[in-house]
Structure 1
Amino acid sequence: MGKVKNPFLVVNPKSYLYGKKILQLAESTDKIAEKSRLQIFFTCPFTDIRYIREHTHFIIVTAQHMEYLKPGRGMGHILPESLQEAGAGAVFLNHAENPLTVSQLSKTIIRAKKLGLITIVCADSLLEATAIAEFKPDILLCEPTDLIGTGQVADDSYILKTTEQIKSINPDIAVMIASGITTAEDVYNVIKLGADGTGGTSGILKAPDPVRRVQEMAEAVLQAQRDRKNVTGRQ
């Protein structure tokens, strides 16, 4: 089964890139992951999963969604086994752009775990995050929906309170804070404050040089981890 290695970075092009353009970013990100030894999740459209997996070695190719159905009937739905077979190592669930009901989410997390897929589960509030924590996702992405894509990061108190509360429920859950993340400085701050990981979409894709922005973010994650360790002794 896949394992989360803290800290980590998520490069999330959503559906802004596809085909050759997303492969170019994936290959460049793969080189960054190799050199930095940082665990980097890279999301892509379903049809590009195998394409990207066959051309990369160090990033964790991540599906944007899946369902809990099993092989058999299910025309038009997303079969977990097909994602795994294509090369996905992780999956996003319950994103604000594709939310799930509580019942769907619990069943889908179970299916993903059985297949060894790392689950990155989104929550739009601390209340929802604490509820979802009971399902034991691998990574809990706590991002206020109204901050997604705004360039405005959640305030320090939110990051501190969210991380502390989720860890009190289950210390094995990795906490990710990502809404509004735009710059390497944003990345540094959320990791320094205690988050296990972060990532971005518009902050990367709208940068003058997206590859350089990924590099800067990766360096910021690692620097924040070093600085946090020096202050607290925490790994």
Structure 2
Amino acid sequence: MKKIRTPFFIVNPKSYLYGEESLQLALVADKLAEKYGIDIFYTAPFTDLANIKSHTKYIKITAQHMDPLVPGRGMGYILPESLKAAGAEAVFLNHAEHSLTLTNLVKTIKRAKELDIITIVCADCLEEAIAIAKLGPDILLCEPTALIGTGKTSSSEYMIETTTKIKEIDKNILVMQASGITTGEDVYKVIVNGADGSGATSGILNAPDKGKKLEEMIQAIVKATNENMKY
């Protein structure tokens, strides 16, 4: 697996942005990744991935989903090799808006590993996180579905418990906490509570200045990292 610098950040516009708008925010993220030396993952619709890849150097281009098929038949499905060819370095799996059966999740993680594509797998609760941790994802996103888009973050207790339990199963899994992230302070709290990374959607997209809000969140990662290094 490619080395991921921690703490990392994921900009996840989902399908709210596409085309030129998606590219413009990706360019901002690319500059911030270089400026602060932070690994920033950037998701975009499948049809935008190659264009964003060709205009950026520092962000990790991330697909929103893929299917476990191999080259050949599979009309209408997302071929992992096609994502790799488009420049994708990572993929989201099992998001609340595109959940997978356990069988498909196992197969898809296997295919991603074959192609050295970083897997970011979502879990809705502690029990699901524990089950998914046994599948060996690269990043496990602990994100209670009920909090998505609410502006309300998980409790510190939830963050610490999920992170601890996952690391007990596999210390190599990076744990991401991201529900309801809207401010730099939210990001700071996530990192000081032990998470390896965070990310946001509506917290960035609803801001009057998306680029400014994103930089506020990246600065919070730097601040939290410096705080953690003191102890």
Structure 2 residue ranges without an equivalent (≥5): none
Whether 2:124 is the aligned partner of 1:137: answer no
1:39 maps to which residue? 39
Amino acid at match of 1:133: A
* Aligned structure 1 segments of 4 or more residues deviating by more than 3 angstroms: none
Could you tell me how far 1:193 is from its partner in structure 2? 0.5
Q: How many residues align?
A: 231
For 1:25 and 1:122, how far apart are their aligned partners in 2? 23
| Residue 215 of structure 2: aligned partner | 215
Within 5 Å, which residues of 2 pair with 1:171-182? 171-182=171-182
Give the aligned partner of residue 67 of structure 1.
Answer: 67
CA offset digits 1:165-216 (Å, max 9, x no partner):
1111111000000010110000000100100000000000001111011111
Identity of aligned residues (%): 59
Contact 1:3 1:118 in 2 (8 A): no
TM-score (norm 1): 0.97
Residue 189 of structure 1 pairs with residue 193 of structure 2: no
Aligned residue in 2 for 1:113:
113
Q: Does 1:104 align with 2:104?
A: yes
Over residues 20-62 of structure 1, what are the superposed CA-to-partner deviations in whole Å (9 max), with x where a residue is unaligned? 0110000111000011110000000000000000000000000
- Distance, in Å, in 2 between the alignment partners of 1:33 and 1:4 is 13
For the residue of structure 2 that corresponds to 1:33, the secondary structure is helix
Partner in structure 1 of residue 13 of structure 2: 13
SS in 2 for 1:54: helix
Give the Å deviation of 1:2: 2.2
Which secondary structure does the structure 2 equivalent of 1:41 belong to?
strand
Give the TM-score normalised by structure 2: 0.99
C-alpha separation between the residues in 1 aligned to 2:214 and 2:33? 10
Q: Secondary structure at the match of 2:55?
A: coil
Q: Give the 3-state SS of the residue equivalent to 2:10 in structure 1.
A: strand
